[in-house]
C-alpha cells in the first residue's frame, strides 16, 4: 500500500484496533508513517461477508477522508522503540549483583530482553567476544527487516554476549544473520506474521565438534549437553529483536506466541547418518562448516517403536504432513509468496529430523533421501475440499487456472506440498524411534561459517 501511495495512487489501510501500533510502526519502517489508516473494531478474519460489510460501512467516512485528504500525520508517532545517545550504560548498586538486577529490569522496560536473564555486554565481555572473529567490529554483515536495522559485527557480538555465547560461537551467529538477510528468507514476512514462524538452525561440518554442539540425545535442549546449541539460537533471536526490531506486540504480532522463538539450534548427527550430510546436499564440501536457517511454524513428533519397514514409517510420517490446520498445507495451490523487490519466489518446504534408528531402517531397505521424499509426496495427500475453501476460488483461478476443474471434483486427492523436493531431511537425535517434523514457512538458506 505504501508503494502505491508513493506512486501517486491514493491508498487506505484497514486495520483492527489491536493492530494500530503495528500498522503505525510498519508505516515508519517502510517510509510513510502518514499512510491513511481506517480503524475497525475487529479483524476481518473469520467473519461472514455480511459481517465484513457492516464493519466497512461503519467506517466509510474514514475511508473517504483517507482517500481525498492530503497526507498528514493522522496519528502520534508511537514511541515503542528505545534509542539512546549513550555509547555505554551505567548501572550501580551496593554490589555487582544489585547492578545486574537493575540492568535486567531496565532492559525489560526497553524491550531488549527475551524475558530470560541476560549477561551484561561490558567492554571486557565485548572485547572477549570479538576475539572470536577477525572481522572488523564496524563491518556491516546485513540489514535486517522489518526495522531495516544495520547488523554490524559489533551489534551481533553484543547480542551474543547477552545470550551467553562464547567467542568461538560468534562465527555461527554471524553466518546465521547472513542467512536471515537473504531475500529468499523474506524476513519481513516471517518477522511480522500473526503466526509462530521461528528460525531453526542446523549446523554441519567440523565446527560441530569444535563447539561441542549437540546432535544426539536432547539436541534441541534443554540442559548442559545442548548449552552451545541454546545460546547460539538465543543470540539469533536477540539479534532479530534488537537489530531487526522484531519486537513482540510492535511488529511481531504472533497470535499466541511459541517457545520455539527463544532458541532452536541443532547439529546434524553426521556420524549416525547413512546418507550424504545435509550441507553437502546443499552444495558444500563435506569439510566445510555451515549453518542452515529454516523458518518453521511448529513441531510434531515422528514416533513409532513398532515399525521396521520403510513404508510403515512413511505411513506414520505422512500423518504429520497432512495436518491441514497448518497454513503451509496445500498453500502451493494459491501460488507462491513473492518479494517484488528481489524477484524471489517462496516455495513452502517442511523439515524432517529423522532419528538414527529410523534412518537405519531406511538404509537397510536401500532407501536414499530421494526415496523418502518421493514416498512422502506420494502418501501426503488430502482431498481438494480440505485444502481449498470456496472463498479462495478466485485466487486459485489466477494462480492455477489449469486446475479449475477440481472445484467440480472435491474428493480428488492432491499433494500437500508442491513437489517431492519440498521435504528437507537431516539426521538428528539419539537412540529409540522418535524424530521431529517441522512445518516450514518458505525454504531454508545455507551459509558457510567463517571461523
Q: Where are the domains of the chain?
A: 2-68
Q: Which of 14-23, 149-158, 204-213, 409-418 bottoms out in mean pLDDT, i.e. has the lowest?
A: 14-23
State the DSSP code for 352.
E
Mean pLDDT within 307-322:
94
CB atoms under 10 Å from CB of 252, counted, come to: 22
Band (pLDDT 50/70/90 cuts) for residue 78 is low
Whole-model pTM: value is: 0.92
pLDDT at 308 over 90: no
Q: What is the DSSP letter of 381?
A: E
Helix axes 356-364, 310-321, angle to 10 degrees: 130
Res 73: pLDDT: 58
More confident: 228 or 72: 228
Cα distance between residue 451 and residue 449, in whole Å: 6
Cα 450 to Cα 175, 176, 204, 341, distances in angstroms: 8, 11, 13, 28
- pLDDT for 26 equals 86
Which run of H or E residues covers position 414? strand 413-415
Q: Please list the residues that pair with 265 across neighbouring strands.
A: 201
Q: Are 15 and 36 in contact (CB under 8 A)?
A: no
CA angle, 63 then 26 then 81, to 5°: 130
**pLDDT category of residue 61 using cuts at 50, 70 and 90:** very high
- Predicted confidence band of residue 232 (pLDDT cuts 50, 70, 90): very high
pLDDT-based confidence at 79, cuts 50/70/90? low
Is residue 80 within 8 Å of 250, Cβ to Cβ? yes
Q: Are 288 and 279 in contact (CB under 8 A)?
A: yes
Amino acid at each position: 500500500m505504501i508503494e502505491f501511495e508513493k506512486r501517486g495512487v491514493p491508498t487506505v489501510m484497514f486495520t483492527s484496533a489491536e493492530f494500530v501500533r503495528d500498522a503505525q510502526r510498519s508505516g515508519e519502517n517502510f517510509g510513510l508513517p502518514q499512510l491513511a489508516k481506517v480503524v475497525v473494531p475487529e479483524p476481518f478474519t473469520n467473519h461472514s461477508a455480511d459481517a465484513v460489510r457492516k464493519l466497512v460501512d461503519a467506517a466509510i467516512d474514514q475511508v473517504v477522508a483517507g482517500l481525498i485528504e492530503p497526507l498528514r500525520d493522522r496519528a502520534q508517532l508511537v514511541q515503542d522503540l528505545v534509542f539512546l545517545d549513550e555509547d555505554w550504560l551505567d548501572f550501580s548498586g551496593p554490589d555487582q549483583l544489585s547492578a545486574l538486577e537493575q540492568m535486567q529490569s531496565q532492559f525489560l522496560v526497553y524491550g531488549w530482553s527475551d524475558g530470560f536473564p541476560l549477561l551484561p555486554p561490558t567492554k571486557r565481555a565485548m572485547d572477549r567476544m570479538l576475539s572470536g572473529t577477525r572481522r572488523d567490529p564496524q563491518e556491516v554483515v546485513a540489514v535486517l527487516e522489518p526495522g531495516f536495522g544495520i547488523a554490524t559485527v559489533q551489534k551481533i557480538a553484543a547480542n551474543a554476549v547477552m545470550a551467553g555465547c562464547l567467542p568461538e560461537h560468534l562465527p555461527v551467529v554471524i553466518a546465521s544473520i547472513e542467512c536471515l538477510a537473504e531475500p529468499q528468507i523474506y524476513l519481513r514476512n516471517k518477522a511480522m506474521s500473526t503466526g509462530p514462524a521461528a528460525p531453526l538452525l542446523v549446523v554441519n561440518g567440523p565446527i560441530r565438534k569444535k563447539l561441542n554442539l549437540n546432535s544426539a540425545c536432547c539436541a534441541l535442549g534443554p540442559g548442559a549437553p545442548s548449552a552451545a546449541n541454546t545460546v547460539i539460537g538465543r543470540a539469533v533471536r536477540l539479534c532479530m529483536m534488537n537489530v531487526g526490531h522484531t519486537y513482540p506486540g510492535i511488529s511481531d504480532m504472533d497470535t499466541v506466541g511459541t517457545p520455539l522463538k527463544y532458541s532452536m539450534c541443532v547439529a546434524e548427527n553426521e556420524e549416525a547418518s547413512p546418507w550424504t550430510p545435509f550441507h553437502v546436499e546443499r552444495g558444500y564440501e563435506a569439510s566445510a562448516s555451515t549453518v542452515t536457517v529454516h523458518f518453521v511454524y511448529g513441531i510434531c513428533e515422528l514416533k513409532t517403536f513398532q515399525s521396521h519397514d520403510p513404508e510403515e514409517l512413511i505411513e506414520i510420517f505422512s500423518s504429520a504432513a497432512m495436518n491441514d490446520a497448518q497454513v503451509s498445507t496445500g498453500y502451493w495451490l494459491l501460488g507462491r509468496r513473492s518479494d517484488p523487490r528481489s524477484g524471489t519466489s517462496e516455495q513452502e518446504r517442511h523439515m524432517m529430523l529423522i532419528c538414527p534408528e529410523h534412518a537405519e531402517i531406511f538404509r537397510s531397505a536401500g532407501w536414499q533421501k530421494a526415496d523418502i521424499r518421493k514416498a512422502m509426496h506420494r502418501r501426503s495427500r488430502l482431498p481438494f475440499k480440505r485444502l481449498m475453501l470456496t472463498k479462495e476460488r478466485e485466487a486459485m483461478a489466477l494462480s492455477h487456472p489449469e486446475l479449475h476443474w477440481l472445484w467440480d471434483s472435491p474428493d480428488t486427492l492432491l499433494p500437500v506440498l508442491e513437489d517431492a523436493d519440498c521435504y528437507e531431511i537431516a539426521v538428528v537425535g539419539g537412540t529409540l524411534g522418535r524424530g521431529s517434523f517441522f512445518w516450514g514457512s518458505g525454504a531454508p538458506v545455507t551459509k558457510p561459517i567463517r571461523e
